[in-house]
A and B are shown apart, each in its own frame.
Chain A
């Protein structure tokens, strides 16, 4: 009887942990798919799109997650195949320096101008 109880507890623990990891994978999958642009219906993410391209990407992402690939590696894989444009949230690299640094530069210039103006009025 005791052994049976232990078996039941072990069974429940393992099935719950499996459920948890499946849930975590699903969350990761949705997060990744929402950040991938569908190249057929270009305004939509792969998550929202029903195109054949999107359904193939969904399968690939699922496969890569099950193989143990991280989010970053999956993006790298897709960027290598289709270029930076496939990702909605562009990563910092030599093609996107201006995109990332220009707002910061404008912010700094604005700050300097405001500081000068304030000094002048004081």
Chain B
């Protein structure tokens, strides 16, 4: 009886280990932060791309509308693929796009905007990447959807695609 109980405990323990390791096999090695967690927008002061003046975040997000914060750089190849979609989104009246120019050369960034168009109502300069950190970004491109309560409701890591654009349009409708 005692032997049977020990065997039963060992089998249960091994099965438990097997399930844990099997589940681990399907989990990706690389960690990606949660993208659907609601967060407040950070308070910050940033330099405007065109005027060189510093603006407070409450002034940037003062209108009662949805906002998109898009982190981009002229050296970032995936930013080029998502740019036409941002241009498409900028035509929507119920959303405003804010660009965060990440660790970029000013002249290159200006050329990028002149060549591909400007979807942003305002561009902010993030010379050392610290503004991106305040938003919880860890790379480029990244896009944040902000609702009328000034909460970040969605985060898209990597370039956006048509599917994401449709999702955004559905949320802001």
Contacts and interface: CB of A to CB of B under 8 A. Distances in A.
Interface stretch (B47-55, B117-125, B131-139): B131-139
Contacts of A16: none
Interface string B94-112: 0000000001000000000
A59 B129 CA distance: 9
B133 A52 contact: no
A56 interface: yes
B138 A40 contact: yes
Interface size class of B (residues with CB under 8 A): 10 to 19
B129 A56 contact: yes
Interface stretch (B29-37, B58-66, B83-91, B165-173): B29-37
Interface residues of A, number: 16
Contact of B133 (A42, A81, A83, A85): A81
B contact face: mostly helix, strand, loop, or mixed: loop
Describe A's contact surface by its main secondary structure: helix
Contacts of A55: 128-129
Interface in A47-88: 52-53, 55-57, 59-60, 63, 80-83, 85
B130 A52 contact: no
A85 B139 contact: no
A39 interface: yes
A78 to B, nearest CB: 9
A62 to B, nearest CB: 10
B148 interface: no
Contact of A80 (B29, B39, B129, B132): B39
Contacts of B136: 81-82
Interface in B12-60: 29-31, 33-34, 39
B146 to A, nearest CB: 15
B138 A59 contact: no
B19 to A, nearest CB: 15
A68 B173 CA distance: 43
A83 B32 CA distance: 9
A82 B31 CA distance: 10
A60 B130 contact: yes
A17 B79 CA distance: 48
A40 B139 contact: yes
Q: When A and B form their complex, which 7 residue pairs have the shortest distance between CB atoms, in order from nearest?
A: A56-B129, A81-B136, A39-B138, A60-B133, A85-B31, A82-B33, A53-B138
